[in-house]
Amino acid sequence: MKLTRTDSEDLASVSEFSQEDDHSNRDSDTDDNPNPKHKKKSKSDEIGSKESKSVFRAKMMVYLVLIVSCVTASTLTYFFTSDQEKSDFESNFKTYADEISRLAREDLLNKFDITESLAIAITSYANDKEEEEAGFPYITVPDFEHRTQKARQMSGAELIIMSPLVLKTAVEAWETYAQAESSWIQEGLIVQGLPEVNPGPVPLFVHDPGVLFGDSPHGPGDYLTEYVAPCWQTGSAPINASLINSDFLQDRVFNELAYRSKLDKLGYLSKMVELSLLENFAQLDPVIDHNDHIDRRKLAVDHSLVDGHLDSHSPRSVLIQPIMDGLSSSSEVIGFLSTVVPWDIYFQNILSEGSNGVEVVLSDSCGSTFTYLLNGPSGVVKGDGDLHDPAYDSLRRTYTVTDGTHEGDHGNDYGHSLCAYIMDIYPTKELEESYESKDPLIFSIVVALIFVFTTMVFLVYDWAVQRRQWMIIRAARKTQAIVSSLFPKNVQDRIMKDVDDEVNREAMGNQFRGNRTKDQLQNFLKGKDTNTDGQEENQGAKRSKPIADLFPEATIIFADIVGFTAWSSTREPSQVFQLLETIYHVFDEIANRRRVFKVETVGDCYVAVAGLPEPRKDHAIVMARFARDCLVQFTATVKAMVVELGPDTEELGVRIGLHSGPVTAGVLRGERARFQLFGDTVNTTARMESTGQTNKIHISQETADLLAAAGKSQWLRTRREKVVAKGKGELQTYFLDSSGETGTSTTSGESDGEESKQENMPAVVVAPAPTVPSADKYNRLVAWNCDILAKLLTQIVARRESRRTEPDPVGDIRKLEEQYGSNRYVLSEVQEIVRLPKYEADSQRVDPWSVQLGEEVLSQLKDYVQTLAAMYRDNPFHNFEHASHVTMSVMKLLSRIVAPDTTTSQTETEEALHDHTYGITSDPMTQFAVALSALIHDVDHPGVPNMQLIKEQTSLAAVYRNKSIAEQNSVDLAWDLLMDDAYSDLRRVIYITKTEFLRFRQLVVNIVLATDIMDKDLGALRKGRWNKAFSADTADNGNGDDIVNRKATIVMEHLIQASDVAHTMQHWHIYRKWNQRLFKEMYLAYLQGRAEKDPSANWYDGEKGFFDFYIIPLAKKLKDCGVFGVSSDEYLQYAVQNRKEWDLKGQELVAEMIQSFKDQGMVPEKMQPKPQESAPEQAPEQAPTKETEVV
């Protein structure tokens, strides 16, 4: 038995209180005695039993206290937080009610004051007028519309009406006066902005208007029977003059209020009434001022609208104010001002936004009651009567708005039109619920969880302590019994000391002692760190056994991407990694399903193994299925990524090799520890991959034997030729094939061990080299080009929104579009300098990812690109695929534009990038124009150079005056297509101002025409521009803006020129592919009689001259521009390498191309080319041209 330090310490503590029992019971039975009744408890057992009971009782008490505390604390927390919410609700409701009452009383007093002020103003005017004319009642206040507008604005009134008191004996005189002075109506309508409205004639006689105020019984009033009170001036002026001369005293409500007002010489408020007379007025809302009260009045007007008209049934009151004949206390009433007051204004903008659910019951002593509902700043009529929730009667707040009377000696015998107003304010369920939350429940649960967590921690701790104590006591009892029975006291002490020494030695020992190598290996592969400390790791590597083992049965796979190096030379780094990450992620998912162990990735080669770290007998079958899945998924993945990564992605393939045998595997420790495979099996697998074929699974004899032994011989196809492997000699190998067999693939929950029992291998393992239908390939190219252009369009829109650019009228832009039609001579538009916009710091405020172009724009863009693709001829070289290749190179160079090193802020870095790249990177319009120009630059290319078109005297040559024929034709065709009405939405995204249109047109013309490197005038213009832009002294070449824009122009032209021949500055395989297509195009032209010389006769020397005199100098200029970063070095390196490669292999390749054409029956016997002799490296007879290389 081995004891630890802890065990020995506890054993010593136990022995202290058990030594006496040991002496007295040395001969007694031990714990293992089969007869329990002969066992005698020792003193230590009795003490332990007693202590256990005490501990148990204490624990139970603690648990009980925790449970009671949990329930009590949670309950108290819930009720306390709930009461707090209820208290907040009641307190805030009281505040709301007080505020509503206060504002209502203040507004009512304000209306009385404003109406009284207007009445005094009319009195003053009448007194002044009385000296010149007849005086009251024959008074017409000038500018009454303006005066009442101000009063209505301040009071929130809807309508103010002046009614003079006219004795019935003077009615005829008044009627004559009213007819003569009715012009104020038209003047008022003009002020309202309604000069075209004809209100009709003023009635000739004072007449009975019917019921005007409310629903009182119609009939003559009981008071002021000797008078009439004709409706005279109104603010606003009426659109129907039939209301004028209506005798208001015929209405009972008005009659009673007027009588009381005349007696008391005070203003009074009527009961709540409905006003049908409002229908005679068009403009009743006041001019709104900018303060809280007026905003509330505006809201009241809005809420009183029904279908755009004022609702005459909304609760209102009429405020009657007497007009006196003087300003003294003895003055008499000579008329009345009637002010229509909507009650809605009292309940607007009182509550804040989000405070919803206060009900106001407004009642008068005359029996009218309405209920209003206040939700935030809005207050609306809920209905007639008291509609509040009775559940909140206990919270009612009652306020007196006005008692409706004034002290006087006339008693109260004036009818029922004069009423007191009372507001009862109640909360609603909605308001109460807005103060209720889940906080009480949440806080209670949190408190309970704290107690539960505490209890659980205590339980876990108690369980751990109990378990440890039980194990220690048990071991101590056994050890003590053995030692006590065998050794005397002094020997026991020595044994205990030896145990302590052993424990100390173990604590200092190697942490790896006792671990099996395979255990360590599996722990490492499962992510368990067996030795990760820096210094300890180095020391451990010297003194500890390495983590490694031999696995006698395993199958390894090497999967290499074919064509990857050439493909990556045409892409930017982010696209390269996007492809690898996507493919490797797919492989990793398959490996997880198949229980295959991924070892590593080396470049574009994927390495995995089956049969370790956990050995399995079916490793060969599992790896075969894994290889099949990887092959199928690889083909599907690269096809799907064409839209993101561009042309030729679908042409990538994968070459897979499998081999089975013993493998040494382990952890190679060091600064970066890795799991590695070693041995001949690894080398042979590499040979299987390197000697395999694209999109096939190449397997060794050993793996084939394992498959055959497992009954899978039908999967094997013997390779006809034997493989010669270094150090191995000739090897017989096989391809994996299960054509026509079907099955199901492994899911994440299935085992490969079970699948190995199945008879057939699922799906097809061997896939042919990808053959892409022309239509399918072109559709993917279209989709890719659309994606590129759409991203640039979103950047254009984002920049435009950041700068808040206002669009020009569509008609002005349309005139420009018509002006730049196909009847223009495109070459004449080429400019020495294309001016780009200056830097603006706020041009990046809008994120392009947030911009949505809309389905219509995207649909038009796709249709435009599809039409462009259809306009390309079926030439071997100058076709839509070539245009897409040029576009891809353009986008790569644009993405590689870099700024100089800087440690400044982001804004300063953006400005530095703008200056360093001459404004190209900060203007998405420029980038879009470059990309579009690349796409259209060879539209309708005839497959022969411009010189041949001139010799043939084609109509195009005549139209374009024998200058840049193909290029001008491409611009015209693509531009006319874009100007079609079908693409109007697309154009409105590209440009919205005349300035943007002109810059876009200038960019497209300059960039496309830059691809004509044969035109002498254009060449001289570009050469002069380059010398001015990048000469040692640019100070004399114009102002600062001209220098920058000239450099930007030459950079864009060289960018499109380099992209047009980008295949010469990319991987050798890319160069060979496009060079062969160009040769075929020119050779076909020769066979058709459209070329004087056989291109094969000078193709080898012509290519060398083209590299020496155009391609390499052009690549150097890209570097001299200083804006393309490492891409300029990459282009130059590839150009130099391809030049050297062509020098070595060019003649052989030309012969191969001729032989290929001969095999296809394209070359007549009499035209067989003679072997070319290498000529001295000098300039060809004619300067190298785009036509000799690109065309």
Which of 574-578, 763-767, 1095-1099 shows the lowest mean pLDDT across its residues? 763-767
Position 374 confidence tier, pLDDT thresholds 50, 70, 90: confident
The mean pLDDT of 546-567, rounded to a whole number, is 87
- At 947 the pLDDT is 87
> What does the block give as tokens for 435?
């103060």
Identify which has the larger pLDDT, 299 or 351: 351
Residues 1054-1101: tens digit of each pLDDT:
888 888 998 898 888 888 889 999 998 888 888 888 888 888 888 988
Contact between 448 and 126 (Cβ < 8 Å): no
Rounded to whole angstroms, what are the CA distances from 712 to 620, 624, 717, 743, 1036? 10, 10, 11, 14, 81
Taking 50 as the threshold, does the pLDDT of residue 749 lie above it?
no
Highest mean pLDDT among 249-258, 267-276, 834-843, 862-871: 862-871
The mean pLDDT of 541-566, rounded to a whole number, is 80
- At 327 the pLDDT is 84
- At 242 the pLDDT is 87
d(CA 768, CA 777): 17
Taking 70 as the threshold, does the pLDDT of residue 1160 lie above it?
yes
Taking 90 as the threshold, does the pLDDT of residue 253 lie above it?
no
- At 377 the pLDDT is 83
Q: Work out whether strand 268-269 and strand 166-167 pair parallel, antiparallel, or are unpaired.
A: unpaired
Taking 70 as the threshold, does the pLDDT of residue 767 lie above it?
no
- At 216 the pLDDT is 54
- Could you tell me what percent of the chain has a pLDDT over 70? 74
d(CA 377, CA 432): 18
Identify which has the larger pLDDT, 1035 or 721: 721
Buried b (16+ CB within 10 A) or exposed e, 64-73: eeeeeebeee
Query: What radius of gyration do the chain's Cα atoms show?
Result: 50
Contact between 1107 and 1139 (Cβ < 8 Å): yes
Identify which has the larger pLDDT, 163 or 835: 163
Position 46 confidence tier, pLDDT thresholds 50, 70, 90: low
| Amino acid letter, residue 1016 | K
Taking each helix axis from N to C terminus, what angle separates 924-936 and 774-803, rounded to the nearest 10 degrees? 160
- At 1032 the pLDDT is 58
d(CA 838, CA 911): 10
The mean pLDDT of 489-502, rounded to a whole number, is 51
Name residue, tokens 């009383």: 105
Helix (H) or strand (E) holding 975: helix 965-978
- At 586 the pLDDT is 92
The mean pLDDT of 852-877, rounded to a whole number, is 91
Position 310 confidence tier, pLDDT thresholds 50, 70, 90: very low
Position 658 confidence tier, pLDDT thresholds 50, 70, 90: very high
Rounded to whole angstroms, what are the CA distances from 434 to 86, 358, 441, 976? 11, 12, 16, 63
User: What is the sign, positive or negative, of the torsion defined by CA atoms of 626, 629, 632, 634?
Assistant: negative
- At 336 the pLDDT is 92
Residues 873-912: tens digit of each pLDDT:
989 999 998 999 899 888 888 887 754 444 444 444 556 5
Taking 50 as the threshold, does the pLDDT of residue 1142 lie above it?
yes
Position 22 confidence tier, pLDDT thresholds 50, 70, 90: very low
Position 403 confidence tier, pLDDT thresholds 50, 70, 90: low
Contact between 239 and 205 (Cβ < 8 Å): no
Eight-class DSSP state of 133: S
Among the residues of 411-438, which ranges form H helices? 429-434
- Could you tell me what percent of the chain has a pLDDT over 90? 12
Taking 80 as the threshold, does the pLDDT of residue 922 lie above it?
no
Position 864 confidence tier, pLDDT thresholds 50, 70, 90: very high
Taking 70 as the threshold, does the pLDDT of residue 498 lie above it?
no
Which of 12-21, 32-41, 156-165, 486-495 shows the lowest mean pLDDT across its residues? 12-21
The mean pLDDT of 58-82, rounded to a whole number, is 87
- At 62 the pLDDT is 84
Compute the C-alpha angle 513/514/518, nearest 5°.
Answer: 105
Mean pLDDT of the chain: 77
> What does the block give as tokens for 586?
């797919």
Residues 627-651: tens digit of each pLDDT:
999 999 998 999 888 888 888 888 8
- At 590 the pLDDT is 92
Contact between 1005 and 997 (Cβ < 8 Å): no
Taking 90 as the threshold, does the pLDDT of residue 656 lie above it?
yes
Identify which has the larger pLDDT, 838 or 138: 138
Identify which has the larger pLDDT, 1008 or 38: 1008
Contact between 161 and 121 (Cβ < 8 Å): no
Taking 60 as the threshold, does the pLDDT of residue 358 lie above it?
yes
How many other C-beta atoms can be found within 10 angstroms of the C-beta atom of residue 1176?
5
Taking 50 as the threshold, does the pLDDT of residue 1045 lie above it?
yes
d(CA 1005, CA 1114): 21
The mean pLDDT of 910-925, rounded to a whole number, is 70
Taking 60 as the threshold, does the pLDDT of residue 592 lie above it?
yes
Position 1174 confidence tier, pLDDT thresholds 50, 70, 90: very low
- At 304 the pLDDT is 44
Burial of 977 (C-beta count, 10 Å sphere; 0-12/13-18/19+):
middle
Which of 477-481, 696-700, 740-744, 906-910 shows the lowest mean pLDDT across its residues? 740-744
User: What is the sign, positive or negative, of the torsion defined by CA atoms of 62, 63, 66, 68?
Assistant: negative
d(CA 281, CA 320): 19
- At 1093 the pLDDT is 85
- At 698 the pLDDT is 92
Q: Work out whether strand 653-668 and strand 697-699 pair parallel, antiparallel, or are unpaired.
A: parallel
- At 824 the pLDDT is 73
* Ramachandran angles phi, psi of 749, nearest 5°: -95, 0
Taking each helix axis from N to C terminus, what angle separates 855-871 and 880-895, rounded to the nearest 10 degrees? 130
Position 1129 confidence tier, pLDDT thresholds 50, 70, 90: confident
> What does the block give as tokens for 1029?
């832009």
Taking 90 as the threshold, does the pLDDT of residue 1034 lie above it?
no
- At 527 the pLDDT is 55
- At 337 the pLDDT is 92
Identify which has the larger pLDDT, 530 or 448: 448
| 300-307 contact pairs (CB < 8 A, 24+) | 300/156, 300/342, 300/344, 300/345, 300/346, 300/347, 300/348, 300/379, 301/158, 301/342, 301/344, 303/344, 303/348, 303/378, 303/379, 303/380, 303/381, 304/158, 304/342, 304/344
Taking 90 as the threshold, does the pLDDT of residue 230 lie above it?
yes
Tell me the longest C-alpha to C-alpha distance in the chain. Answer: 147
